[in-house]
């Protein structure tokens, strides 16, 4: 049972992994506000930032004893929040793109059921293939293609080089392109 408020992160983590719920509560109280401020700076929306931070703590709670951390605990938490923020931005952008596409079809009067259904199936398949990319490659690809960030912006956000960003995107395209080359002609 946690009794020392000045306990180190490593000690708290060990107790938490051992099933001590008071240790989890102390971790939560120690980091929630800091992580929230970090998420809020990027998202510019308090409710979205709260949701992201809650997701990180729920994930932490679910991992429990199986949690493996190879960096400092605070670095682990900040990185988890950063990835959740990027994932949230990416999902939000995809949803908005789908709504915009639907709006364009309806307003242009081009709502052809067969064509729209085929496009939806291809988009769903493409999204599934994107989700199957290695995690870091997927994040870089989604930030580039869905969030429409430049290589430099992505490099700054992820603390990697522009060259790494470009290579990750090229590798993602090489993996995805062969799977969809035939679908391109079906749409046009």
Per-residue model confidence as pLDDT tens for the chain (188 residues): 555 667 898 999 999 999 898 999 999 999 999 999 999 888 888 998 999 999 999 999 998 888 888 888 888 999 889 988 888 888 777 666 666 666 665 566 555 556 667 677 777 787 888 888 888 888 888 888 877 888 888 888 888 999 998 998 888 888 877 776 655 444 43
Within 8 A by CB and 6+ apart from 65, the residues are 17, 18, 19
Domains contained in the chain, CATH given? 1-83 (1.10.1740.10), 112-188 (1.10.10.10)
Taking residue 126's Cβ as centre, other Cβ atoms within 10 Å add up to 14
Distance CA 64, CA 179 (A): 38
Pair of tokens at residue 173 = 């395209």
| Residue 9, burial from CB neighbour count under 10 angstroms (0-12, 13-18, 19+) | middle
pTM more than 0.75: no
């Amino acid at each position: 049972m946690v009794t020392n408020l000045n306990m180190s992160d490593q000690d708290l983590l060990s107790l938490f992994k051992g099933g001590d719920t008071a240790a989890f509560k102390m971790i939560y109280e120690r980091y929630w506000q800091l992580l929230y401020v970090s998420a809020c700076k990027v998202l510019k929306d308090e409710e979205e930032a709260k949701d992201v931070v809650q997701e990180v703590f729920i994930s932490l709670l679910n991992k429990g004893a199986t949690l493996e951390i190879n960096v400092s605990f605070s670095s682990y938490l900040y990185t988890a929040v950063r990835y959740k923020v990027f994932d949230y931005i990416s999902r939000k952008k995809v949803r908005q793109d789908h709504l915009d596409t639907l709006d364009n079809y309806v307003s242009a009067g081009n709502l052809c059921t067969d064509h729209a259904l085929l496009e939806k199936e291809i988009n769903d398949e493409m999204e599934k293939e994107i989700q199957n990319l290695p995690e870091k490659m997927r994040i870089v690809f989604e930030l580039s293609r869905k969030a429409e960030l430049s290589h430099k912006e992505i490099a700054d956000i992820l603390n990697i080089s522009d060259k790494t960003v470009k290579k990750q995107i090229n590798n993602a395209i090489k993996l995805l392109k062969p799977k969809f080359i035939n679908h391109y002609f079906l749409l046009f």
